[in-house]
Amino acid sequence: MAGLSPSERRLQKELMSLMKEPPPGVEVDFDLAEQNLLHWIINMEGAAGTLYEGERFQLQFKFSNKYPFDSPEVTFVGNNIPVHPHIYSNGHICLSILTDDWSPALSVQSVCLSIVSMLSSCKEKQRPPDNAFYVKTCNKNPKKTKWWYHDDSV
């Protein structure tokens, strides 16, 4: 692990443990992450028995060299963005642990689990009510958005 920055050393460990024991329905693109530890793509499957069963999604993680003190930038990418009250059609996710409630004890794995569980508890597939306005006016980086976290039910 010589030559790696502190952020990369931690990400290298996370990558190995995610390869060894991936949470159900979660698979990391290992080769891509190996090439650049600061940019990961995760393939995610909608859990059985939920509204997203049978669907496949792609999550992008971007890390700064301040990780894990700084939260990763996490967005859905690709041609299937989950239709969910907290997920905008441009892939931005309204989830407090990605900004205000981030902790350096969290990890790629725990973020993936939170997102799987957020999808799984969804009762009705719909976009956030302000979707059209948000996607027109937001910054490309969801961390620049001042999120209001008001709904813990989904």
Partner 1 sequence: MKLTIKNWTGVATWRWVANDDNCGICRMPFDGCCPDCKLPGDDCPLVWGQCSHCFHMHCIVKWLQSQPVNQQCPMCRQPWKFNNK
Interface ranges with partner 1 (CB under 8 A): 5-6, 9-10, 13-14, 66, 68-70, 103-105
The torsion angles phi and psi of 136, rounded to 5 degrees, stand at -80, -35
Closer residue to partner 1 (CB): 68 or 85: 68
Strand partners, 27: 43
Closer residue to partner 1 (CB): 28 or 87: 28
Distance linking the first and last C-alpha atoms of the chain: 40
Burial 127-140 (b: 16+ CB within 10 A, else e): bbeebeebeeeeee
Instruction: Tell me, yes or no, if 112 is annotated catalytic.
Output: no
Q: Whole-angstrom Cα distance, residue 83 to residue 87?
A: 7
Closer residue to partner 1 (CB): 12 or 58: 12
Q: Minimum distance between the CB of residue 88 and partner 1, rounded to whole angstroms? A: 27
Q: Minimum distance between the CB of residue 7 and partner 1, rounded to whole angstroms? A: 8
Q: Minimum distance between the CB of residue 154 and partner 1, rounded to whole angstroms? A: 22
Q: Which pair of structure tokens corresponds to residue 94? A: 């309204």
Catalytic residue annotation: 94
